[in-house]
Amino acid sequence: MYFIKIKSERNGEYNLSNLTKRDKIFYGSGNLGYGVISQTYNNLIMFFGTAVLGVSGSLMGIAIAVSVLWDAITDPIIGHLSDKQKSVVFGKRHGFMLFGVIGMALFNIFIWSVPSFLTMTGKFVWLLVSMLLLETFNTMFATPYTALGTELSNDYNERTNIQAYKTIFFLLSFLAPSVLMYLFLSADLRDASQQGYMQISFVTSALAIIIGLICVFGTFSSISKLKEKYALSKKEKKEKKASQIFKMFFYSLKRRNYNSLIGGYAISLVSSAIITGVGLHLFTYAFYFNKSQVSIILASLVFATIFSQPFWVKISRKYEKKPALLKGILITISGILLITAAFIFRLQIGVTASFILCITAILISGFGTGALYSLPISMFADLMTLEYAKTGKESAGIYSGFMTFAYKTSSAVAGLIVGILLDVIKFDSNISTQTMAVQTGLGVVAISGILIALIISYIVYSQYTIKKEYVTKANKKIEKQKLIKENI
């Protein structure tokens, strides 16, 4: 069962029981279904558009930025709609999740099926419309799904454990680009063939549908128990309009812990937007890695990040979540510095030695990056507990939207800048061997952008002040409110 009231022998407080491993697996699997599409899309779309379709970097940057910004705007709106949803069958979250996974599987195929006879402008329009529709359905699944994860337990440490399961499944989805590239693309990634990308889209859409349905119906039993929690929420006197929702967002940024968490999360994930936007270009055209080597690099990043999850759960329990998160950022930075050395001396040491150095650096960075994916969401759940204890209102959905709105807005800007910079450094998809100036430009864009994002995120995250004792007190208050309501 999901929610069973128990009494702690240690402190006498009432709390909610831990989830079973089965419950966590069903919930976490949703991130795998969603992730196989989003990760393949994020890692390949810029390369696909510029190197395969021949669309300019600036136009691709605009398409990515507009679609991601649209995704960001819809996140808090969908979050708010799911917060107020009262479906008898699907509860607040599950109906959105079901509709979302079906839609994103469909429009994922559209993106990679751009007709070859279209002009560059026609290809740009096709991509932009398809990307906007994909992001809309992504939001319908991802935002309610994230909110659901914050509601499955009230326990401080159990939340980190839930997010670790979710993160592991999401990181498993990171394997999709490397595996699918190896299976369906030609050995030399500079060989522009659209057919392989279309085959990849069929596979990722099928996986998303199957795994998404497992997540939705596997967590279906939670709906009745969650209704008991939602019943405690105070009723709103009137519905919020879209403008009021975004006023709430900007108000939240004035509060120290909200702006440090939302800001740090948004800025740290800019590094992901940069590496997915220009990473394939860097490894293919500057390091001269082939398809197999690039696939191994991507897979190494995933394995290191997954392997690190139990470590970060343990460290966060011992030292609190913020110190663990800051350690993760520093480890990631050290790995990026090693990649910098490999890039600078790549011509002197050769492709094989460069590859070994990059693998080592990726393993280090991946280990540190593990903290960036799971701990901020767990910290966010703690903030939602404090908010709930203070106001008595259920706001996990809308604030989940705020989190994604912030990081996707920053990612949209990063994607636009990366696209423009590809044109500035004069990247030419018609040339298999780029000039040394272009290669240097690829390294500068990728490495400096990632380092700057990580350093700023470290500074911003340092302002966060929530500790376990605050969350424990909030949970006690919530339990008292529940007992009072039950006795009325």
Flag whether 449 is in a domain.
yes
Phi-psi label, residue 392: left if phi above 0, alpha if psi -120 to 50, beta otherwise: left
pLDDT tens string 3-38: 333 344 334 333 444 567 787 888 888 889 888 998
State which residues form the domain around 206: 25-226+248-483
Mean pLDDT of the 428-443 span: 89
Assigned token pair, 8: 């702690």
Tell me the pLDDT of the chain averaged across its residues. Answer: 82
Report d(CA 467, CA 7) in Å as an integer: 22
What CA–CA distance (Å, rounded) separates 125 from 102? Answer: 23
Residue 78 has pLDDT above 80, yes or no: yes
Smallest CA-to-CA distance from 471 within 164, 160, 167 is with 160
Domain presence at residue 322? yes
Question: What pLDDT score was predicted for residue 242?
Answer: 53
Helix axes 242-252, 57-84, angle to 10 degrees: 100
Identify whether 167 is part of a domain: yes
Position of tokens 């519905």? 239
Structural tokens at position 158? 């159990």
Unique residue bearing structure tokens 């507009």: 66
241 or 268, greater pLDDT: 268
- At 433, give phi and psi (nearest 5°): -115, 110
Asked whether residue 3 is domain-assigned, the answer is: no
CB 273 within 8 A of CB 376: no
Cβ atoms of residues 467 and 378 within 8 Å: no
Q: Examine residue 243 and state whether it is found in any structural domain, yes or no.
A: no
> 268 Cβ partners below 8 Å, 6+ apart?
329, 372, 376, 453, 454, 457, 461
Residue 20 lies in a domain: no
Q: What is the distance between the alpha carbons of residues 145 and 143, in angstroms, rounded to a whole number?
A: 5
Number of domains in the chain: 1
- Does pLDDT of 237 surpass 50? no
Distance between CA atoms of residues 128 and 119, nearest Å:
14
- pLDDT (tens digit, 9 = 90+) per residue, 246-300? 566 666 667 788 888 888 988 888 888 788 788 888 999 999 998 889 889 988 8
Name the amino acid, one letter, at 195: Q
Residue 102 has pLDDT above 70, yes or no: yes
The DSSP code sequence of 409-470 is HHHHHHHHHHHHHHHHTT--TT-SS--HHHHHHHHIIIIIHHHHHHHHHHHHHTT----HHH
As given in the structure block, the two tokens for residue 481 are: 């409110």
Mean pLDDT of the 53-72 span: 89
Q: Angle at which helices 57-84 and 396-424 pack, to 10 degrees?
A: 180
> CATH code at 360?
1.20.1250.20
Residue 18 inside a domain? The answer is no
Does residue 234 fall inside a structural domain?
A: no
C-alpha 3/C-alpha 225 separation (Å) is: 6
In the predicted model, is pLDDT for residue 228 greater than 60?
no
Task: Specify the 3-state DSSP secondary structure of 187.
Answer: coil
Whole-number pLDDT of residue 400 = 67
| Residue 260, Ramachandran bin (φ over 0: left; ψ between -120 and 50: alpha; else beta) | alpha
Is the pTM higher than 0.85? The answer reads: no
